Structure 1
Amino acid sequence: MAEQLEETGPVAMGSWQGVLADLASCLRFYSRLPVPALPWEQDPHALPDFPRITRLVPLAGLVLGILPAAVLAGALLLDLGPWLAAALSVAAMTVTTGAFHEDGFADTADSFGGATRERRLAIMRDSLIGSFGASGLVLVFALRIGALAELVSRVDTAGACTAVLIAAALSRTAGLTPLVLLPPARLDGASHAVGQPTRDTFWRAAALAGVIAVVLGTLSGLDPSGIGLMLILSAASGWALTRLAARHIQGQTGDIAGAAQQVAEIAALIGLLTVVER
Structure 2
Amino acid sequence: MQALQQALRHYLLAVQFFTRIPVTGRLAAWVGYSPAMLRASGAHFPGVGVLVALAACASYGVLALALAYSPWASAVAAVGGTIATVLLTGGFHEDGLADMADGLGGSADAARALDIMKDSRIGAYGSMALVLALLAKCLLLALLGAHSLGAALAALAGGQVLSRFWPLFIIRSLPHVGDSARSKSKPLADQISAAALAAAGLWCIPALGLVWQAQGALFLIVTVLCSAFAAWRVQRLCARRLQGFTGDCLGAAQQVGEIGFYLGAALALGLAQQVA
- Shorter chain as denominator, the TM-score bin is 0.7 to 0.9
Q: Measure how far apart 1:213 and its partner are.
A: 3.5
> 2:227 corresponds to which residue?
234
> How many residue pairs align between the two structures?
264
Q: Secondary structure at the match of 2:130?
A: helix
**2-side partners of 1:134 and 1:44: how far apart?**
36
1:31 to 19, 30, 41: 19
> 1:18 corresponds to which residue?
6
Structure 2 residue identity aligned to 1:133: G
Residues 37-56 of structure 1 mapped to structure 2, 5 A cutoff? 42=30, 44=32, 49-56=37-44
**2-side partners of 1:173 and 1:107: how far apart?**
21
> 2:146 corresponds to which residue?
153
**2-side partners of 1:40 and 1:71: how far apart?**
28
Structure 2 residue identity aligned to 1:203: L
Q: Secondary structure at the match of 1:190?
A: coil
Point out where structure 1 has 5 or more consecutive residues left out of the alignment.
Answer: 1-10
**2-side partners of 1:235 and 1:199: how far apart?**
20
Q: Secondary structure at the match of 2:190?
A: coil
> 1:263 corresponds to which residue?
256
Aligned residues of 2:57 and 2:153 also touching (Cα < 8 A): yes
Measured against aligned partners, the alpha-carbon deviations of 1:28-81 in whole angstroms (never above 9, x if no partner) come to 111111235665954546667233112221122111211111000110111161
> 1:171 corresponds to which residue?
163
Q: 1:199 to 1:236 in 2, by over 3 A?
A: farther
The two structures have a TM-score, normalised by structure 2, of: 0.87
> 2:55 corresponds to which residue?
67
**1-side partners of 2:28 and 2:264: how far apart?**
41
Q: Does structure 1 residue 196 correspond to structure 2 residue 190?
A: yes
Aligned residues of 2:171 and 2:192 also touching (Cα < 8 A): no
Q: Does structure 1 residue 225 correspond to structure 2 residue 242?
A: no
Point out where structure 2 has 5 or more consecutive residues left out of the alignment.
Answer: none
Aligned residues of 1:25 and 1:48 also touching (Cα < 8 A): no
Structure 1 residue identity aligned to 2:194: D
Aligned residues of 1:50 and 1:197 also touching (Cα < 8 A): no
Q: Measure how far apart 1:203 and its partner are.
A: 3.3
Structure 2 residue identity aligned to 1:61: G
**2-side partners of 1:206 and 1:44: how far apart?**
21
**1-side partners of 2:51 and 2:138: how far apart?**
20
Greater helix share, 1 or 2?
2
Q: Measure how far apart 1:191 and its partner are.
A: 2.1
Structure 2 residue identity aligned to 1:76: A
Q: Measure how far apart 1:202 and its partner are.
A: 5.0
Q: Measure how far apart 1:247 and its partner are.
A: 1.1
Q: Secondary structure at the match of 2:21?
A: coil
> 1:5 corresponds to which residue?
none
1:128 to 111, 121, 133: 121
The two structures have a TM-score, normalised by structure 1, of: 0.87
Aligned residues of 1:114 and 1:120 also touching (Cα < 8 A): yes
Q: Measure how far apart 1:272 and its partner are.
A: 1.3
